[in-house]
Amino acid sequence: MIHVLDLNFLGIDHAIASFLIESSAGPILIETGPHSTFESMKSQLANHGYQPGDVKHVLLTHIHFDHAGAAWAFADHGAKIYLHPFGKPHMEDPTKLYNSAKMIYGDDMERLWGAMDKISADQLLTPEHLEEITIGDKKFTAIHSPGHAKHHIAWQLNDIIFTGDVAGVKIADGPVVPPCPPPDINLEDWNQSLDILMERKASSLYLTHYGEVTEIGDHVNELRNMLTDWANWIKEKWESGLTADEITPQFSEYTANQLRGLGVSEHGVKQYEAANPSWMSVAGLIRYWKKKSQ
């Protein structure tokens, strides 16, 4: 049984999920959310009869704050944290990661993401691509899946894959959109990772933003098309000489109108923006095109 935990990020429902899996070794978490949602996490765990100290195994898809920011709090309770090898140094010492984010978010850092602290190296486990991890009666396969981030892992359990951000953002019956934050966006890697996911022939995907998807072929095709659309829209604006600050409000309006045109309500537009801030995709995709032009 998979329990979807709504972390109620910024008081907005269905923006960030964590997934609780019960096993013979106790509860397993996929994703922790940011530390700013830790009180919501504790409440969600309590709904299923658990406390943070009961969780001894946490699987992260990648180390972005909305997915891994509270990992240290579970490590403080003795949990082992499973993540991509590239992410380990930043979890051992998050100072550089935190300070880089603080340069972007400034005084809003605490409200958005909360604290981040060190995790002991011996609690960080880093499986290789397609390595199997057995926890009690559950066996997970680590699928290295760059494109959104170099340090991205999708986790397969039987015929289910927890996709982090590589399978995009889809809230309720809305469209699927690609989260494109800097610094690692790479369209070629992303499409190759989607090929790998398709080869696994899963019956369902679980998206951190947000929930279960069963029409996988349609979902992946829609994501590829939207990724191409966004990337080319930003490329055209950037090549015309506009700066990121000039492009961002135009892109925010463009994507919001896309959502509205596809039947998303105003509350839904806010949910999508909370899960996938439009300014981050401007920054990430401009960085991608700059690299391509060098």
Tokens matching residue 23? 């096993």
> What are the residue ranges spanned by the domains of the chain?
2-218, 226-293
Give the DSSP letter of residue 155.
Answer: E
Return d(Cα 196, Cα 210) in angstroms, integer: 21
Tokens matching residue 65? 């704050």
Q: Which residue is associated with the tokens 């559950």? A: 138
Helix, strand or coil for residue 257?
helix
Residues forming beta bridges with residue 133, ordered by sequence position: 140
What's the CATH number of domain 2-218, 3.60.15.10, 3.40.50.880, 3.30.540.10, 3.30.565.10?
A: 3.60.15.10
Mean pLDDT (whole number) for 169-175: 96
Mean pLDDT (whole number) for 150-169: 98
Q: Are 33 and 18 in contact (CB under 8 A)?
A: yes
Mean pLDDT rounded to a whole number for the chain? 96
Q: What is the pLDDT of residues 70-103, one digit of tens each?
A: 999 999 999 999 999 999 999 999 999 888 888 8
Q: What is the CA angle 229-233-234, rounded to 5?
A: 120
Q: Which residue is associated with the tokens 């039987």? A: 158
Segment 241-245 long-range contacts (CB within 8 Å, at least 24 positions apart): 244/282, 244/283, 244/286
pLDDT value for 226: 98
Q: Strand 204-207 and strand 211-213: pairing? A: antiparallel
* pTM recorded for the entire structure: 0.96
Q: What is the pLDDT of residues 122-137, one digit of tens each?
A: 999 999 999 999 999 9
Mean pLDDT (whole number) for 208-226: 98
pLDDT value for 287: 96
